[in-house]
Amino acid sequence: QEPTIAIPITVAIAIHNIPEGISISVPIYYATGDRKKAFIYSFLSGLAEPIGALVGYLILMPFLNDTMFGIIFALVAGIMIYISLDELLPSAQKYGDHHLSIGGLIAGMAVMAVSLLLFI
């Protein structure tokens, strides 16, 4: 509804998808040695996001209001925090430097806190 908000969010999501695509395709390429297969799997993985958004929108369209958006955002934030703390952080500590992974976590939290303070 607000193009001044929607356009920067769309650009941010698009920019975010570049390293995400690289992080998906590089391990596939090194595992298979096939660039075409890595590209196809990365492309299919990238399609899941917009298709899921469209299906979710079509299902929830009759119920969308400010309360529903709050519930959806809270659920998604909780899922992302759970995955980060339960899956990603232990893996980073196992395969990398423990102090570096904790430092990265704290730095990421600080960046998010500053960005929230700047844009609210």
**pLDDT (average), residues 26-49:** 90
In tens, the pLDDT along 59-77 reads 988 988 999 989 999 999 9
User: In this structure, are 88 and 35 located in the same domain?
Assistant: no
Is residue 3 pLDDT above 80, yes or no?
no
Task: Provide the pLDDT confidence category of residue 84 given band limits of 50, 70 and 90.
Answer: confident
User: In this structure, are 69 and 29 located in the same domain?
Assistant: no
User: In this structure, are 82 and 42 located in the same domain?
Assistant: no
User: In this structure, are 92 and 120 located in the same domain?
Assistant: yes
Q: Which among 63, 89, 109 is the end of a domain?
A: 63
> Is the whole-model pTM more than 0.75?
no
Task: Provide the pLDDT confidence category of residue 1 given band limits of 50, 70 and 90.
Answer: low
User: In this structure, are 58 and 4 located in the same domain?
Assistant: yes
Cα(61)–Cα(19) distance, rounded to whole angstroms? 31
User: In this structure, are 56 and 81 located in the same domain?
Assistant: no
Domain that holds residue 94: 65-120
Query: In 3D, which of 51, 19, 20, 24 has the Cα closest to residue 37?
Result: 24
User: In this structure, are 2 and 23 located in the same domain?
Assistant: yes
